[in-house]
Amino acid sequence: MALPCACIAQAQPTQARAQSQAAAPAAAWPDRPIRLIAPVSPGGGGDFSARLLAKSLAASLRQPVLVDNRPGGGGVLGTALAAQAPADGYTVLWVSGSHAISAAFERNLPYDPVKSFDPVALFATLPFILVVSPSLGVSTMPELLVRLRANPGKLNYASSGIGSISHVGLEMLKLMAKVDMVNVNFKGAAPSITALLSGEVQMAMLGPLSVKPHIANGRLRALAITTAKRSPALPGVPTFAESGVPGYEIASWYGMVAPRGSPKAAIERLNAAINASSDEPAVREALVEEGAELVKGTPQAFDAFLRAQVAQFVALRGKVDLQLR
């Protein structure tokens, strides 16, 4: 009977060593730089927030967090790249409200916006601002609606690609205000602003960070904010509901996901680091300046939020005729 006991005694350390070796890679994470894919062009609010968080995470995780801008297709190109990346914790994806819109409206996505990713954390929510070129000669939303109704299909608006908040938000306005205008796609906020300032387009729906300097110097006019409440970042800008479009509300948000099957330990550590970043004065002050509201929560809470966002836009799909692909 001594032999079985000896075998068991030998097996236990072997099993313990195996468990320790299996746990070692997770415990060591991260031991090399992390790639943060941002499916937006450099210079916009999404890029700014991604880089702001990347800097905070790099300090917390003691590894570089490298922002990789991959704009195009309303975020589809960069998101597809992330979905195909190794699920090893070293590639993550910066997502925004467009991610949920794609889930509702896109017909031939090369990924599933929910099932292809593991949620990491919701970072912030934020409004968009409808801005126009001063050359248009309107100063308020009611004046814009009069101009649009008098010139159906003759005015252009810039968007950051089919399926972006800047696209769907103005298609909602067309539906709710019974007006018509033409969408012109660009690869992000920065080229949209360039087109707006040059007179190529007459209006756009963009984040406060992108447009505040141009509003301040008079090169753009802010007509309305997309959220139900006014923003502390631009308190003088009325809501759509205050401006003759009752019931209008759409907002964006920022968060992080990882390719499906990424290590749980990596996701949990990233989540904790993102939540901790919300307490950093530099992060908080910069995001408040952008008009954003910082959020803390678990990966499970972000999963529930994302699914609710998808459901919101699926319900909208029956009202807005948007065949994105």
Predicted confidence at residue 77, as pLDDT, reads 92
Cβ(197)–Cβ(203) under 8 Å? no
pLDDT reading at 8 higher than 80: no
CB-count exposure of residue 121 (10 Å: 0-12, 13-18, 19+): buried
For 199, the token pair is: 């007179």
Which strands, in side-by-side order, build the sheet including 203-206? 182-185, 156-159, 203-206, 129-132, 221-225
* Rounded CA separation 54/78 (Å): 17
Residues 96-127 have pLDDT tens digits of 988 998 888 777 899 999 999 999 999 999 89
34-125+252-317 matches 129-243 in fold: yes
- Dihedral pair phi/psi, residue 32, rounded to 5°: -155, 170
Predicted confidence at residue 9, as pLDDT, reads 36
- Dihedral pair phi/psi, residue 246, rounded to 5°: -65, 140
Read off the pLDDT of each residue in 196-204 and give the average, rounded to a whole number. 95
pLDDT classification of 21: cutoffs 50, 70, 90: very low
Average pLDDT, the chain: 87
In the chain, what are the domain boundaries? 34-125+252-317, 129-243
Among 222, 118, 204, CA closest to 161: 204
Residues of the chain with pLDDT > 70, as a percent, come to 89
Read off the pLDDT of each residue in 241-261 and give the average, rounded to a whole number. 94
* Rounded CA separation 125/268 (Å): 21
pLDDT reading at 237 higher than 70: yes
pLDDT classification of 321: cutoffs 50, 70, 90: low
Neighbours of 51 (CB within 10 A): 17
Among 95, 100, 170, CA closest to 311: 100
CA distances, 101 to each of 3, 127, 143, 182, 243 (Å)? 64, 16, 29, 20, 25
pLDDT reading at 325 higher than 70: no
Predicted confidence at residue 236, as pLDDT, reads 93
Mean pLDDT lowest among 67-71, 73-77, 277-281, 297-301: 73-77
Mean pLDDT lowest among 18-32, 183-197, 270-284: 18-32
Residues 217-235 have pLDDT tens digits of 999 999 999 998 898 888 9
Read off the pLDDT of each residue in 237-259 and give the average, rounded to a whole number. 94
The answer regarding whether domain 34-125+252-317 maps to CATH 3.40.50.11540 reads no
pLDDT reading at 11 higher than 60: no
pLDDT reading at 17 higher than 70: no
Among 219, 216, 196, 218, CA closest to 206: 196
Residues 39-59 have pLDDT tens digits of 988 877 789 899 999 999 999
Please give the biggest Cα pair distance in the chain.
97
Mean pLDDT lowest among 12-21, 23-32, 168-177: 12-21
CATH label, 129-243, candidates 3.40.640.10, 3.40.50.300, 3.40.220.10, 3.40.190.10: 3.40.190.10
pLDDT reading at 5 higher than 80: no
Neighbours of 1 (CB within 10 A): 5
Mean pLDDT lowest among 114-118, 161-165, 293-297: 161-165
Predicted confidence at residue 225, as pLDDT, reads 96
Residues of the chain with pLDDT > 90, as a percent, come to 62
